[in-house]
């Protein structure tokens, strides 16, 4: 869910108070209210504002996406040391990226990493939102999506 939320956030950076769920599905607050997505909308916007303030670039988005994937806290990791090496490599990649692209802000990598707890909180809210929709039976959901929700709930 973190990857899905991060993708929505990145697509929404060019918008004002709107979320771009897909190329052809842009939602403002009123549309979110009418479609039952207001809680999700309100949860995601602070992350959009934070990345907008940082002027997040595509390379940073891709690197944060990889870091979020490598930091998923899965309980089924067979080689913990390999995952740790991957996390270290991704952290170094972010440091190198910022060192070469954003030399005017030596703390930029840290600022980006500090957004990850908010991303995790927002993703948890999204999971909860969709789980509530599932429980209420409002919208039929694809089996894979349901399995993902049940694994997180």
What CATH code would you report for 1-151? 1.10.565.10
139: which DSSP letter? S
pLDDT in tens, 121-137: 999 999 888 787 777 77
Q: Tens of pLDDT along 67-110?
A: 999 987 777 888 889 999 999 999 999 999 998 988 889 899 99
pTM: 0.84
Domain ranges within the chain, ordered by starting residue: 1-151
Average pLDDT over residues 15-39: 92
25: β partners: 22
CA 16 to CA 131: how far, in whole Å? 28
Least confident of 62-66, 76-80, 140-144: 140-144
Q: Given the structure tokens 């270290």, which residue do they identify?
A: 88
Residue 62, pLDDT above cutoff 70: yes
**Phi, psi of 27, deg, nearest 5:** -120, 125
| Residue 7: both structure tokens together | 């993708």
CA dist., res. 102 & res. 95, Å (int): 10
Model confidence at 28, pLDDT cuts 50, 70, 90, reads very high
Could you give the CA distance from residue 101 to residue 112 in angstroms, rounded to a whole number? 14
């Amino acid at each position: 869910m973190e990857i899905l939320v991060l993708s929505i956030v990145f697509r929404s950076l060019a918008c004002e108070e709107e979320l771009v769920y897909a190329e052809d599905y842009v939602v403002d607050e009123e549309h979110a209210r009418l479609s039952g997505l207001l809680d999700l909308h309100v949860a995601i916007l602070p992350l959009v504002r934070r990345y907008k303030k940082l002027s997040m670039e595509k390379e940073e988005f891709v690197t944060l996406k990889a870091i979020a994937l490598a930091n998923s806290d899965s309980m089924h990791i067979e080689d913990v040391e390999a995952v740790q090496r991957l996390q270290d490599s991704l952290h170094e990649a972010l440091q190198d990226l910022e060192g070469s692209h954003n030399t005017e802000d030596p703390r930029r990598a840290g600022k980006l990493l500090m957004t990850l707890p908010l991303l995790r909180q927002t993703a948890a809210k999204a999971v909860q939102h969709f789980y509530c929709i599932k429980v209420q039976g409002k919208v039929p959901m694809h089996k894979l999506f349901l399995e993902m929700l049940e694994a997180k709930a």
